[in-house]
Amino acid sequence: PLRLDLRGITLLHEDLSDLDLSGYDLSYANLNRSDLTGTILSYSKFHKASLEQTILDECEFIGSDLTYSSLNECSAKRCGFGGADLSHARLINADLDDATLSRSKLVHSDLRASNLKNARLSEADLSGAIFTRATLLESDLKKSNVNGTNFELADMQGCRLLGIKNFKKASWIGADIRG
């Protein structure tokens, strides 16, 4: 159940760190360049929200809806997106170092040139996602679905790919997947 409806709100350059916004509806919200460090946003809605250049370090988005949202150039280090839906989201040049995206949906999401070093993407649906020139060093993609996923020129050294689904249906041109 949603706790508060904040659809379409604009909060630019705001300090929203260490709050509990679980269950809030922030669809269509503009939170660009705000600081949400440590904020709990589990089971919230961010459909078509704009979070560009926003600091999301150590946030929790467990089970949240971030479909069609824009998170370009955000910092989401050690952020928890487990079970979240980021389908069609734009995360170009985002910093997702040590983020948890296990069992999340990133269907047709754009993560070009993003940093996903040490990210946990096990059992995630990455169908049609774009990881061109992304860094996925030491990341865990075990049992993820990569049907139609683009990993072209991605740095994936040390990635765990055990049990990956649809390996042959992904594009691996120029990707470095050395162990």
Whether the predicted pLDDT of 1 surpasses 60? no
Q: Return phi, psi of residue 55, to 5°.
A: -90, 115
Q: What is the pTM of this model?
A: 0.96
Burial class (CB in 10 A: 0-12, 13-18, 19+), 179: exposed
Q: Do residues 109 and 90 make contact, with C-beta atoms less than 8 angstroms apart?
A: yes
CA distance 75 to 97: 9
Q: Do residues 42 and 63 make contact, with C-beta atoms less than 8 angstroms apart?
A: yes
Q: Return phi, psi of residue 167, to 5°.
A: -50, -45
Structure confidence at residue 59 (pLDDT): 98
The predicted model gives 22-29 an average pLDDT of 96
State the pLDDT confidence band at 66, using cuts at 50, 70 and 90: very high
Structure confidence at residue 3 (pLDDT): 78
Structure confidence at residue 2 (pLDDT): 61
Host H or E run for residue 95: none
Structure confidence at residue 70 (pLDDT): 98
The predicted model gives 20-45 an average pLDDT of 97
The SS3 of residue 35 is strand
Burial class (CB in 10 A: 0-12, 13-18, 19+), 178: exposed
Whether the predicted pLDDT of 85 surpasses 60? yes
**Beta carbons within 8 Å of 21's beta carbon, 6+ residues apart:** 39, 40, 41, 44
The predicted model gives 87-93 an average pLDDT of 98
Q: Do residues 86 and 68 make contact, with C-beta atoms less than 8 angstroms apart?
A: no
**Beta carbons within 8 Å of 45's beta carbon, 6+ residues apart:** 2, 24, 25, 26, 27, 64, 65
CA distance 71 to 33: 10
CA 86 to chain centre: 6
pLDDT averaged over every residue in the chain = 97
The predicted model gives 155-177 an average pLDDT of 96
